């Protein structure tokens, strides 16, 4: 049975009413749990025009654009980058994340743990290296900030909460927001775009400065990347780039920010693109068996980011 034929029902985040599950999957699992590509169109994912979650998604991006400024990002760095909120193993952090539901994503309403396992399993199925699989498992864990965040800062963990500094497509703050960004009509609502210091092509940066040296709209990507670096994870730089940049669609999908890129950034972008297809197209409603799968992933965690980590 393919995941797309299931007819479970889910909570529609908008009105809190029951509606049919979205039948969208690019990869799907057969009866023995193997991943295979399905024949669903790519266009059915990242539908920002008429998905059944449209009003939530639109509000998310409007608020995100209004609030994510250089000043805001600096405040979040100050708040989170000492990493003194908790000491948790990856497993313990997953337990905390169980109740988190994404409100910005038009493709799925499953708890994020299941999305991360689906992503990891699809990467594993394709025969990619172990660190790549682990990246699949960890890539969205930064949403754990909802535990320490506030509604005013866009860090609520509920399906209809404010999550504009947890998730959603990111961009580089401190320079002009590109028109290829999702909902470009909201770009003008960003206060930095009225500031001549920030609203130019180069903004506060120098040519060829490197993607590593830019500031991004604050969210789960940036936090998780910084957290893994802080805890001296041995995940290779390609994997860390996947985590840090996977939501920066203007860069990895629309080739923006050429002015800042180095040769190595070109390579990193290919890795991020490779990762991205798994992130995007494995959002089926078939629920992975956490208990069965966990021992395999615990071994990868022990190899690349063992023990209690500082969050």
Q: Which residues bind Fe ion (CB under 5 A)?
A: 140, 279
Residues in CB range of 125: below 8 A, 6 or more apart: 27, 34, 35
Instruction: Tell the smallest beta-carbon distance from residue 141 to Fe ion (Å).
Output: 9
CA distance linking residue 31 with residue 3, whole number of Å: 9
- Measured from the CB atom, the residue of 140 and 265 that comes closer to Fe ion is 140
Instruction: Tell the smallest beta-carbon distance from residue 188 to Fe ion (Å).
Output: 26
What does the DSSP 8-state code read for residue 140? T
Residues in CB range of 135: below 8 A, 6 or more apart: 123, 235, 239, 242, 243, 275
Instruction: Tell the smallest beta-carbon distance from residue 122 to Fe ion (Å).
Output: 11
- Measured from the CB atom, the residue of 114 and 140 that comes closer to Fe ion is 140
In angstroms, the Cα distances linking 38 to 27, 42, 122, 290, 295 are 5, 10, 13, 23, 28
Backbone angles phi, psi at 2, to 5 degrees: -85, 155
75 is written with which tokens?
Answer: 């405040």
Instruction: Tell the smallest beta-carbon distance from residue 220 to Fe ion (Å).
Output: 6
- Measured from the CB atom, the residue of 169 and 192 that comes closer to Fe ion is 169
- Measured from the CB atom, the residue of 60 and 176 that comes closer to Fe ion is 60
CB atoms within 10 A of CB 255: 12
Instruction: Name the helix (H) or strand (E) containing 170.
Output: none
Instruction: Tell the smallest beta-carbon distance from residue 91 to Fe ion (Å).
Output: 19
- Measured from the CB atom, the residue of 72 and 225 that comes closer to Fe ion is 225
Instruction: Tell the smallest beta-carbon distance from residue 140 to Fe ion (Å).
Output: 4
- Measured from the CB atom, the residue of 222 and 279 that comes closer to Fe ion is 279
Q: What is the distance of C-alpha 31 from the center of its chain?
A: 29
Q: Exposed, middle or buried, 195 (CB in 10 Å: 0-12/13-18/19+)?
A: middle
- Measured from the CB atom, the residue of 102 and 160 that comes closer to Fe ion is 102
Instruction: Tell the smallest beta-carbon distance from residue 36 to Fe ion (Å).
Output: 20
DSSP 28-85: EE-TT--EEE----GGGSS--SS-TTHHHHHHHHHHHHHH--HHHHHHHHHHHTT--S
The torsion angle over the Cα atoms of residues 258, 263, 265 and 271, rounded to 10 degrees, is 120
- The answer to whether 7 and 28 have CB atoms below 8 angstroms apart is no
- Measured from the CB atom, the residue of 176 and 227 that comes closer to Fe ion is 227
Instruction: Tell the smallest beta-carbon distance from residue 78 to Fe ion (Å).
Output: 23
């Amino acid at each position: 049975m393919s995941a797309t034929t299931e007819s479970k029902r889910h909570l529609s985040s908008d009105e809190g009413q029951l509606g049919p599950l979205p039948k969208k999957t690019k990869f799907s699992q057969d009866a023995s749990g193997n991943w295979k590509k399905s024949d669903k169109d790519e266009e059915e994912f990242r539908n920002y025009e008429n998905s059944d979650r449209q009003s939530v998604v639109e509000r998310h991006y409007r608020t995100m654009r209004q609030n994510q400024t250089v000043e805001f990002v600096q405040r979040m760095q100050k708040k989170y980058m000492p990493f003194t909120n908790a000491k948790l193993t990856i497993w313990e952090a997953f337990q905390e994340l169980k109740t988190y539901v994404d409100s910005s994503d038009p493709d799925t309403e499953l708890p994020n743990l299941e999305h991360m396992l689906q992503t990891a399993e699809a990467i594993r199925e394709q025969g990619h290296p172990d660190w790549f699989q682990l990246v699949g498992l960890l890539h969205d864990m930064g949403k754990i900030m909802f535990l320490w965040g506030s509604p005013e800062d866009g860090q609520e963990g509920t399906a209809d909460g404010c999550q504009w500094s947890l998730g959603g497509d990111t961009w580089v703050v401190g320079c002009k927001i590109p028109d290829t960004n999702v909902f470009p009509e909201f770009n003008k609502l960003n206060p930095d775009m009225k500031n001549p210091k920030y609203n130019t092509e180069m903004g506060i940066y120098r040519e060829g400065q490197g993607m590593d040296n830019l500031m991004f709209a604050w969210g789960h990507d940036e936090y998780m990347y910084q957290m893994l670096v802080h805890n001296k994870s041995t995940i290779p730089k390609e994997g860390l780039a996947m985590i840090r940049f996977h939501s920066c669609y203007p860069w990895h999908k629309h080739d923006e920010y050429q002015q800042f890129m180095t040769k190595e950034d070109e390579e990193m972008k290919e890795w991020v693109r490779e990762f991205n297809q798994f992130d995007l197209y494995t959002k089926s409603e078939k629920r992975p068996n956490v208990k069965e799968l966990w021992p395999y992933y615990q071994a990868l965690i022990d190899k690349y980011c063992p023990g209690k980590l500082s969050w």
